[in-house]
Each structure stands twice: as structure tokens, then as C-alpha cells.
Amino acid sequence: MPKKRSKLQSKSELFAVRSLLGAIGALPLETSMRFGKSVGRFFAKRFPKLQKTARKNLEIALPELSEEEKERIVFGTFESLGRHLGFVSHFRKFKHEDVRGLVEIVGREHFDAAHETGKGILFFTGHFGSWEVFNLLPPAFGFDMNILVRRIDNPLVENYVDKMRTRFGSVTLDKTRSARTMFRLLENGKLLGILADLNVQEREGVFVDFFGVPASTTTSIARLALKTNAIVMPAFAVWEETKQKYVVYLEPPVNYAEGDNSEENIRDLTQKITNVVEKYVRKYPEQWLWIHKRWNTRPKGEKGLY
């Protein structure tokens, strides 16, 4: 349970968030994103515990890398988060045509083919590049979008952030109380987005291989898909330096055995989803959330890694 905040603390946190996003967002977009990278580097130096977590994760996942390569990835993670912050700071200004012009989509044909089936589409993604863009991107092209989120503990900050996320009409769903809603949406052929790359408690997930190490991973995507026959589609928004823009990669749907709700099939589909996430982490290591304790939950009897 999060600690209860005083009204003063809640208002102070809201003021800090609004001030930071307002200051960065007052600049032209490209300048905001460059400045955001600097902010990311600044925070990297102010939060050594997060750096420590990132280094430990890299030891677990990519032990073959040199120390220089690991340091580049650690600070690249903070720069990526800062660039993302600069991009998000302009959400309140964006119009539909801005989003369509600023973000390139690769693999749109996979979505079009899936949408034509009339089935629900369950997008999964990870904390890459600018994952928040998925709140704006489908509505910018005329599609309704539903996003599963973890509500921010401070309700004032949550309300402020939610208004930015939903300004184009997307709907955010509280992950702790939206199970029936998610089933209904997918059964009615709607779009739903879920993040698939964070550690979960053992009761909420299943252990699958992630960089060859068991990682407790949410089974919500697999369970939703198997009960609704939804199409499971990878969608990742990453920064492409050569293009100087975010590129959203839509991949062909993940194949799975429909009608088989066994625990074995749930694990198999969760592993397939995790394999896609790992592919993107390997390709864009500086843009993933290494500061999260991804391997925190361990199988029974196994010593903690952090």
C-alpha cells in the first residue's frame, strides 16, 4: 500500500510535474527533446540507486558486454527517458496531423489485415522509446484506443497525466479493476494496449525465459487472448537516430493455439510475447527501462538477484 500523502505533498508534487513539463514544453519540440536528454543525464547522476539497478540488470542479461558498453547503455537509458519526456511535454499541443507527421509507422499492413477480421486486437509493447505515444497514435488515425495503466499514487498528478493521455479520446483502464471491461472490449472487436515487460508478483504471472533467466511475467495478455480469440500484435515505438524521429514498428500477430486455456498454453504464449520484447531490447538496448528490477521475483527457493 502506498503511503498516504498530505494535501500539501500532493499539491507540491503536482506543481513539480507541471513546472517541469511546462518548462520543457515551452521550447520548440526538437529543442525540448534535446533538452530532455540533458535532464535525463542530470537525473542519472542524482539517482545512483537507479544506476546500480541498471548495471545489475546488464550483468544478468548481457554479461558479455564490456564495462564501457554497459555504461553507455546505462546513461543511454536515462537519455532516452529524457527525450521521451521532451516529447510528452508537447502532448497537450499536438493535433492529429502533428502525430501523423511526427511518428512513422512501419508494418501498418499488419494492423489493417487484423482490423479487417473484426476481432479484438490486443497490442503489447514495452517501455521503449516513447511508449506513451500509443495513447495518441490510433486516435490520430481515427481508431478508438484503450490502454491498461497503473494509476499514479498521487491522484492530482494522475488526473493531470491522464488528461494528456486521453486528449485525443483514448480510454485508460486501471489495471487493478478492469478485467471484465478488457474482456468485453476484445469480444466486441476493440483495441487494447498492454505493457508486457515489467516484473510481476508470482501470483500475477508465470516464469518464462528472458535473456536466459527466469523472469516473472504477466499472464494477462495470454489469458485475455485465449478467452476472446483476440489478435495479439507487437507494437514498439523506438527512436531512430538516423531518421531523427520515433518509428512505431507493428509486427505480424503472434500465433497461438486458440481454444486451449491450459496453463501450458498460457505459458507458451507468454514466452512468445517475451521473446519479442527481448528482440527489441537487444536491438535498442539504450532505449529500454534497465532501471526497473525486472528479475526481482524469483522462483521459490532461489536467492534474490538484487
- Looking at residues 158-174, what average pLDDT do you find? 96
Closest-CA residue to 220 (of 204, 231, 208, 209) = 204
How far apart, in Å, are the Cα atoms of 127 and each of 16, 81, 186, 244, 294? Answer: 23, 9, 23, 19, 12
89: exposed, middle or buried (Cβ count in 10 Å: 0-12, 13-18, 19+):
buried
| Integer Cα distance of 225 and 187 in angstroms | 10
pLDDT tens digit string along 112-158? 999 999 999 999 999 999 999 999 999 999 999 999 999 999 999 99
233 band by pLDDT with thresholds 50, 70 and 90:
very high
The verdict on residue 301 lying in a domain is no
| Integer Cα distance of 34 and 238 in angstroms | 16
* Contact assessment for residue 218 and residue 207, using Cβ atoms and an 8 Å cutoff: no
Half-sphere exposure of 69 (CA within 13 A, CB side): 10
The residue among 203 and 284 whose pLDDT is bigger is 284
* Contact assessment for residue 15 and residue 160, using Cβ atoms and an 8 Å cutoff: no
The verdict on residue 187 lying in a domain is yes
- Collapsed DSSP state (helix, strand, coil) of residue 11: helix
The verdict on residue 211 lying in a domain is yes
Looking up residue 260, the CATH number of its domain turns out to be 3.40.1130
Residue 1 has pLDDT above 80, yes or no: no
DSSP H helices in 89-136: 96-102, 108-116
208 band by pLDDT with thresholds 50, 70 and 90:
very high
The residue among 259 and 239 whose pLDDT is bigger is 239
* Contact assessment for residue 253 and residue 233, using Cβ atoms and an 8 Å cutoff: yes
The verdict on residue 131 lying in a domain is yes
The verdict on residue 36 lying in a domain is yes
Q: How high is the mean pLDDT of the chain?
A: 96
pLDDT at 4: 72
Total number of domains constituting the chain: 1
| Integer Cα distance of 304 and 87 in angstroms | 36
pTM: 0.94
pLDDT at 7: 87
Domain that holds residue 53: 7-287
